[in-house]
Amino acid sequence: MRSRSLRTRRSLFDLNDLSGPELEYIFERTATFEKKLPKRDVLSGIAILNLFFEHSTRTITSFTLAEKRLGADVISLSPKNSSLAKGETIEDSGITLAAMGVNVIVVRHPEARFPDRLALAFDGHVINAGDGTRAHPTQALLDIYTLREEFGSLKDRKIAIVGDIVHSRVAHSNIEGLKGLGAQITLVGPPPFLPDSFASEGVRVERDFDKALPDCDAVVLLRIQHERFVDGADTVSDEDYVRDYRLDARRLATLKEETIVLHPGPYNRGIELADDVLIYAGWRYAKQVRHGVYVRMAVLDFLVNGKRRSK
């Protein structure tokens, strides 16, 4: 019942919107939903619009499943078929959608802070499903949930995030979240994908993947985000990348036995990983994807209903 809310947070743009207790609450709710699906009345009467300006398989599908499993009224609008294509601004679309009773918009857009802009005009909850290179908070939540399921506390756990850090909204949100939980983060990649400026307290930059591997508790691989390259910018050839940064059988053999490997997907076989990774005992991709549905259920429930006094 919505009247049981203690307080309601309006929108989720990045992980630093959530306090420590709010983060813990979302993980508790995720675990509850994972154990047992609720009756389909948690979001009854709530209308949710999925508005994706960029391609997606995992995020849009898991949000849609999460919304349906909570009993929401679910609408998907394709931007190219919307009145945005006729010159309507996103602000005016937001006003219009709220007036007809849409309560939540889940939005993905190539422009950083587009969800924040929408939220200024839309009288409802906005969830960032990925904005440019800036943030992908629900992906980071599901990654962190997966890591915590494995290790419990992440304090002092050694997590390597490898590859195209500069273009990766997933990496940016994961760094934010993992730092807050006390993990020791090693960012690994070549200078065009990882400027030295990424180093900060609790976050170090390492160019040599082979040196980073034996010490890691978890390795998070990333896709090279060619679609976000700026023309003329310094880049890295696939050949050089594969030689220096692909996780393959030789490199897997240097990991500790209990080290796990994650990837937000989609992954490119042969580039950031060899097929050996897909049969490695510590490969956690399927778990990440599965957790994505429960994490998104928890985020939707938290934003709309607030914290519940009891389950």
Residues that bind ligand CP (CB under 6 A): 56-59, 130, 139, 264-266
Q: Which is nearer to ligand CP, 214 or 266 (CB)?
A: 266
Tell me how far apart the alpha carbons of residues 8 and 6 are, in angstroms, rounded to a whole number.
Answer: 7
Q: Print burial letters for 134-151: b (CB count within 10 Å at least 16), e (below 16).
A: bbbbbbbbbbbbbbbebb
Least CB distance to ligand CP at residue 292 (A)? 8
Q: Which is nearer to ligand CP, 59 or 103 (CB)?
A: 59
225: DSSP letter: -
Least CB distance to ligand CP at residue 123 (A)? 27
Q: Which is nearer to ligand CP, 57 or 78 (CB)?
A: 57
Least CB distance to ligand CP at residue 256 (A)? 26
User: Reduced to 3 states, what is the DSSP secondary structure of residue 260?
Assistant: strand
Q: Which is nearer to ligand CP, 59 or 184 (CB)?
A: 59
Least CB distance to ligand CP at residue 147 (A)? 16
Least CB distance to ligand CP at residue 35 (A)? 24
Least CB distance to ligand CP at residue 130 (A)? 6
37: DSSP letter: P
Tell me how far apart the alpha carbons of residues 72 and 66 are, in angstroms, rounded to a whole number.
Answer: 9
Contact 50, 165 (CB under 8 A): no
Tell me how far apart the alpha carbons of residues 130 and 34 are, in angstroms, rounded to a whole number.
Answer: 24
Q: Token pair of 196, please?
A: 């030295």
Q: Which is nearer to ligand CP, 119 or 140 (CB)?
A: 140
Q: Using alpha carbons, list the distances in angstroms from residue 251 to 116, 190, 205, 247.
A: 41, 17, 19, 6
Q: Which is nearer to ligand CP, 58 or 204 (CB)?
A: 58
Torsion sign over Cα 64, 67, 70, 73: negative
